[in-house]
Amino acid sequence: MTNRVLREVHHHTFSQNTQKRTRIQVEELEQERNHWQSEFKKVQHELLIYSTQDAEGLYWSKKHMGYRQAEFQILKAELERTKEENQELKVKLRETETHLEMLQKAQVSYRTPEGDDLERALAKLTRLRIHVSYLLTSVLPHLELREIGYDSEQVDGILYTVLEANHILD
């Protein structure tokens, strides 16, 4: 029993650490995105200033303007990549928060008095379904299990389908 509680506490702590790391990564990507946005705005502002200045005293060759345009495109692409990474990390953060919430619900319901066997059995079943969904996702990364209900038999059905498709039940 104490080993099981220790595993639950360790798993809960691991989920919290994963959530913290994901938040830190999101913050770092947002800082990087802000940096690239400011660089993009500076280059855009420089282009605006240089294009509106009188041509006397300044000579811009086509080659130099092409270089600035290429630099502008690189910065723009980097900004887009950072935005995409930021969105991916936000999705991971939401998934981790959902997982943590499910584990906390299961852990709280597991701590009920000894007389409440049904409640504990349901909590164990929910935890088992959560772990099976993570196992299925690691084996089949294309599975989208974000919206799945762990209190229903959806995970059971998916597991049965995978086992049947791989002829494991034969």
pLDDT for 56: 46
Q: State the 10-residue block means of pLDDT for the chain, 170 residues long.
A: 57 70 89 92 83 55 71 90 91 85 70 64 83 81 75 80 79
Closest CA to 8 of 82, 87, 111, 94: 111
Q: Per the confidence metrics, is the pTM higher than 0.75?
A: no
Cα–Cα distance, 55 to 64 (Å, whole number):
15
Cα–Cα distance, 31 to 82 (Å, whole number):
10
